[in-house]
Amino acid sequence: MTISLVVVKHPFDAVLVVAFGGPQGPGDIRPFLGNVLRGRRVAPERIEEVAHHYELFGGVSPLTELTLRQADGLRERLAQRGTPLPVYVGMRNWHPYLRDTLSTMARDGMRRVVAVVAAAHRSYSGCLQYKENVAEARAALVAGGAPGIDVTYVGDWYLHEGFVAANAAHVREAIDRLPAATREHAEIVFTAHSIPVSMAERYPYEQQVRDTAAAVLQRVGRSGQPTVVFQSRSGRPEDPWLGPDVCDYVKEAKARGVSGVVLSPIGFLCDHVEVLYDLDVEAAQVCREIDLPMARASAVNDHPAFIDTLADAVLAVCDRYGHGRPLEVVKA
């Protein structure tokens, strides 16, 4: 058997955006949660509690629509910048499932793909697990007799100018929604999804979140260290997770005499149900009870500067392999 190298002149055929997924109606909620929680021991009452969060929003997570809008924006931006590539979306936990998207890509003749995981900060659950799911879907594709698809991932972009600028713009808008007397001294509180401490010790997640927060705070024109809190904790109560929790923090802030808070979900790329419930419902209720003015900044969603971030990340990979990419070809 010999191995030779073939140089591919056109390095990539398409872009794949990999995201979490979300239910699109009341009937989807529990099957969706079954996918999310597969293999985990979760009390039935906890599952029903989370299901209720989705029911409050009609059983529809905005994540799918927002991710599709991000993908549409990325497709348009790549075309504007001279690299027209089709952009596909594949979800881990709901339609369009990754395996279905990859099957469509294979039928469309896509063989070499740039992939973007819809998470700015690296952890197992927010990055590596997605890549494992992509690898499983690729293996299933080949096992079913379809052509294989080669996947190359973009690099980190948690400090990209566009990502920082989009978050900062939304923070400024939120500050402007506070009562005039509280705006100047309101505290900007950055939130991200909590993860187990044991996971945080193995991945750069927490430091990357803090680095993004510091960059956004500076862009807004505030000095000092950023305030970073966490939300959406799950798992066993006895297991340590990153904190403090956002609701606990706003109570402490009120006790210190803080005049108002802006909650900025920099750990999320769109205003999906975890953001809507944990911040707009739960944290907002706590702030009302303690009489603390609060405004919630939007996630980056499809802000033009964030679309620029995605385009730059994809184009950086294309540029890296712009003169062709050596691929192994195995011959018997």
Position 8 scores a pLDDT of 45
Position 323 scores a pLDDT of 67
By CB neighbour count within 10 A (0-12 exposed, 13-18 middle, 19+ buried), where does 60 fall?
middle
Position 328 scores a pLDDT of 45
116 and 222 co-located in one domain? no
By CB neighbour count within 10 A (0-12 exposed, 13-18 middle, 19+ buried), where does 6 fall?
exposed
Position 45 scores a pLDDT of 83
Strand-pair partners of 90 = 18
Q: Within 13 A of 121's CA, how many CA atoms are on the CB side?
A: 23
183 and 206 co-located in one domain? yes
Position 10 scores a pLDDT of 65
Is the sign of the CA dihedral 46, 42, 128, 65 positive or negative?
negative
Position 193 scores a pLDDT of 96
Q: Which residue has the tokens 């089709």?
A: 86
Q: Which residue has the tokens 């419930």?
A: 277
Terminal C-alpha separation, the chain: 5
Q: Could you give the number of structural domains in the chain? A: 2
Position 223 scores a pLDDT of 92
What value does the CA radius of gyration of the chain take, rounded to a whole number of Å? 21
27 and 53 co-located in one domain? yes
Cβ proximity of 73 and 300 under 8 Å: no
For 58: left if phi > 0, alpha if psi spans -120 to 50, otherwise beta; the answer is left
Q: Which domain range does residue 206 map to?
A: 161-296
Cβ proximity of 61 and 93 under 8 Å: no
191 and 278 co-located in one domain? yes
Angle between helices 304-320 and 161-177 (to 10 degrees): 170
Q: Which helix (H) or strand (E) holds 161?
A: helix 161-177
Position 329 scores a pLDDT of 42
Structure tokens at 298: 């939007």
33 and 137 co-located in one domain? yes
State how far the Cα of 277 lies from the Cα of 57, in Å rounded to an integer.
9
Cβ proximity of 63 and 270 under 8 Å: yes
Structure tokens at 53: 């969060």
291 and 227 co-located in one domain? yes
- Amino acid (one-letter) located at 240: P
State how far the Cα of 329 lies from the Cα of 320, in Å rounded to an integer.
21
Residues of the chain with pLDDT under 50: 1-8, 326, 328-332
For 316: left if phi > 0, alpha if psi spans -120 to 50, otherwise beta; the answer is alpha
309 and 202 co-located in one domain? no
State how far the Cα of 33 lies from the Cα of 41, in Å rounded to an integer.
13
pTM: 0.91
- State the DSSP code for 245: B
153 and 237 co-located in one domain? no
Strand-pair partners of 2 = 331
112 and 196 co-located in one domain? no
State how far the Cα of 160 lies from the Cα of 165, in Å rounded to an integer.
9
172 and 209 co-located in one domain? yes
CATH number at residue 318: 3.40.50.1400
Position 114 scores a pLDDT of 97
Cβ proximity of 183 and 260 under 8 Å: yes
By CB neighbour count within 10 A (0-12 exposed, 13-18 middle, 19+ buried), where does 252 fall?
exposed
Structure tokens at 208: 């990357």
74 and 201 co-located in one domain? no
318 and 289 co-located in one domain? no
